[in-house]
Amino acid sequence: MSDRVSFTIDGTRVEAFRSQSIMDAAMESGVYIPRLCHVPGLDPWGSCRVCTVKVNGRFSTACTQPAMTGLTVENDTEELNDLRRDLVEMLFVGGNHFCMSCEKSGNCELQAMGYRLGITAPLHPYLHPDRDVDASHPDIMLDHNRCILCARCVRTSRDLDGKQVFDFVNRGSDRRIAIDPGARLKDSDADVTDRALDACPVGALLRKREGFRVPVGEREYDHVAIGEEDGVDPVSDLWDES
């Protein structure tokens, strides 16, 4: 049996290795599927659902669905982009995302995704959850208000930093990133050089005292929409550096 498979995304033929996901195959072929929790080089997670596509007519997350010969994948359709818009909007209203004073603004994948999908103001009501800021570490800050539970820090710390600093606690709407139960960042072996800090797509995990050093006009998404960065994934260098 050949280790190559072939399928279509929005009518375009895409080739992939049998072990690859639809997302990985699309990325290699230069087809952009919107995503937030997926990072090349890390195990797929499938939590943000933004990469939802239709595979042979059924909804599926592209980052977790294996590529197989004969699949018909719908990606850039009005129906799917409407769905993604709702998903991203719920991420906004479910946290406390104040872009106007966030140091990640302009470099934030959530914000950039909002712009790409045409979100000007949420239609869903804000939940304004009561979340705290862990600034106990001398050089690192974890702002739970902005966390979208993508687990990129969890996976990067575990798989690339070899530390397992982060994990989840609680369930449902109470779910959040934690160090250890009852512990703060200062109690962990997190370090300012950890690649987990670079993995955060939003302004939740930050190096202290570096905010706003990049001027407006020179930030990642000041001139380019997310998904149109000359074919270079903004976080793929996480893996390259390893």
* Sole binder of another protein in the list 208, 224, 225, 242 (CB under 8 A): 208
Single out the segment in contact with another protein by CB under 8 A; choices: 117-125, 129-137, 147-155, 169-177: 129-137
Helices (H), the chain: 22-28, 78-94, 109-116, 152-159, 196-199, 237-241
- Regarding 197 and contact with another protein (CB under 8 A), the answer is no
Please state the φ and ψ torsions of residue 235, each to the nearest 5 degrees: -115, 5
Sole residue written with tokens 């006009």:
217
Instruction: Provide, rounded to whole angstroms, the least separation between the CB of residue 71 and another protein.
Output: 45
Sole residue written with tokens 């977790």:
64
- Regarding 103 and contact with another protein (CB under 8 A), the answer is yes
Q: Which of 235, 232, 239 is nearest to 201 (CA)?
A: 235
* Sole binder of another protein in the list 30, 182, 215, 231 (CB under 8 A): 215
- Regarding 171 and contact with another protein (CB under 8 A), the answer is no
* Sole binder of another protein in the list 3, 70, 101, 170 (CB under 8 A): 101
Rg of the chain over CA atoms, in angstroms? 18
Name the residues that contact another protein, by CB under 8 A.
100-101, 103, 133, 135-136, 141, 208-209, 211-217
